Amino acid sequence: MISLTARYFDGRTSASHQVTASLHDDGTLRLVGAGIDRRGPLTAVRIADRLGNVPRALWLPDGAKLETPDNDAVDAMVATLPPGRRALGLVHRLERQWRFALGALAVTAVLAFLGVEYVLPAAAERVAMLAPVELEHALGEETLEALDGTLFAPSELPPETAGSVIVRFEHLRRAVGFDAALRLELRSAPAIGANAFALPGGILVVTDELVTLLEDDYDALAAVLAHEVGHVLERHSLRAALQSSATALLIASVLGDVTSLSGLAATLPTVLVDARYSRRFEADADREAIRILLRMGVSPAALATALEAIERSHGGAGEVPGYLSSHPPTADRLERARAAAVTGRVPGKD
């Protein structure tokens, strides 16, 4: 006789009762518990496939159900059934074969890669482009406030230097063509050094350290600002925050609830300081920067000059802190900027 303990549900209420299920030699399954004494043929019971050590379900003909963690005892009961009834389910058969397990692991890894590489970026772009302008502005203001309370301090640039930066920015803003959508903020940030950020809502933050590094080369500074404008136009900071917050992205993309993005303000400071934009983001921002520089009458070579100056300030190529941590000056970016300086044309998409 094979016995096991199980929880018994009568199929009419949610209450469960502890029972002992015993399989007798004649194939009869008997259930005994407080106020319960049932029996019937095991062949009339539908038994769930085994899945590891997950508790097993056995359904009786009248809708009642047993649940038991004693999978070995259930397997022993299944072994007494006629040959046509004792086959393992597909899931359990696959689970027992390492080749299928490795295959499933490989498929899972491929699907995860495709999701991160293609599905998440596409969904983030869609949601970011649907976000209301008012929401994006609010995110930008909250992000700047958070950074002001942590990494940023008031700018200490001399008035004449700050004035020159502002004049160059105004020239760039006219070249972009939508004056009200861009705002320049100067900040001191010794902890992160020479850097610039594009916040949602068109807020461009430039550190004193970057202005000092580029000295009087306002064309190079304009190139950096133009690159950040490219990130603004493509909403890259919001898209990067969405990609790093899959939960918010899922809610916004599936339910269409873009107001749920308001919680990203807590995420954006970390994303902006630590994130490394994708090659596609950088290429798109560079392309827009070249377009703006040509409108301003500035050689696109200024972008290459700025990137190389920043790289030198951090001791050469490779993973470096500051602006280059999220804007690596890869050789193709430098080549693209210099080629545009020669041809006077905006490069096409990669």
| Structural domain boundaries in the chain | 2-88, 131-343
HSE-up (13 A, CA, CB side) for residue 308: 11
Give the type of residue at 28.
T
- C-alpha–C-alpha distance, residues 178 and 242, integer Å: 26
Q: What is the mean pLDDT of residues 127-149?
A: 80
Q: What is the mean pLDDT of residues 269-291?
A: 77
Q: Is pLDDT at 109 greater than 80 in this prediction?
A: no
Specify the pLDDT at position 250.
Answer: 53
Q: Which residues of 184-194 are buried (b: 16+ CB within 10 A; e: fewer)?
A: bbbbebeebbb
Residues 6+ apart with CB under 8 A from 109: none
Q: Pairing between strand 183-188 and 153-154?
A: antiparallel
H-type alpha helices, the chain: 71-79, 90-95, 98-114, 120-130, 133-148, 159-176, 208-214, 218-233, 236-244, 246-255, 268-274, 279-296, 301-313, 331-343
Please state whether the predicted TM-score (pTM) of the whole model is above 0.85.
no
pLDDT one-digit tens code per residue, 246-256? 555 555 544 45
pLDDT one-digit tens code per residue, 301-342? 999 999 888 777 766 544 344 444 445 556 888 899 999 999
Q: Are 198 and 185 in contact (CB under 8 A)?
A: no
Q: Are 74 and 50 in contact (CB under 8 A)?
A: yes
Q: Is pLDDT at 89 greater than 60 in this prediction?
A: no
Specify the pLDDT at position 118.
Answer: 62
Q: Are 144 and 269 in contact (CB under 8 A)?
A: no
Residues 6+ apart with CB under 8 A from 146: 265, 266, 268, 269
Q: Side by side, which strands form the sheet with 65-68?
A: 36-41, 28-33, 16-23, 2-9, 65-68, 56-59, 46-47
Q: Pairing between strand 203-207 and 183-188?
A: parallel
HSE-up (13 A, CA, CB side) for residue 346: 15
Using alpha carbons only, give the angle 248, 252, 258 rounded to the nearest 5 degrees: 105
Q: What does CATH list as the number for 2-88?
A: 2.30.29.30
Which of 79, 82, 63 is CA-nearest to residue 71?
79
In 3-state terms, what secondary structure has residue 7?
strand
Which of 93, 45, 100, 53 is CA-nearest to residue 72?
53
Q: Are 249 and 123 in contact (CB under 8 A)?
A: yes
